Amino acid sequence: MRINNADDTEDWQDDLAAMGGAPGLLGIVLAKAENASHVEATAARLPAGTPIVAMIESHRVWTTAWPSPLRTPRCGWRSG
């Protein structure tokens, strides 16, 4: 399930409230993840172990905020 980015606080909180208790939730896609704190804040509001795939949507974010994307263990990673 795709949810709004963490900077869009009201929609992000609404999405997490709805998804946090969804039966059969296999994971979420976090739109416009700008840094690891977005993933960490999202993970803190979901059931333990819920997979998170962070969508890094700009080169600027990739080169400045995510020098080592694998540093955040809850963050799914795929290249290409």
> pLDDT (tens digit, 9 = 90+) per residue, 60-80?
666 665 555 544 555 554 544
What are 12-21's pLDDT values in tens digits?
888 888 876 7
DSSP string, the chain: -EE--TTSHHHHHHHHHHHHT-TT---EEETT--SHHHHHHHHHTS-TT--EEE----HHHHHHT-SSGGGSTTEE----
Q: List the domain boundaries for the chain.
A: 2-76
**pLDDT for 57 beyond 70:** yes
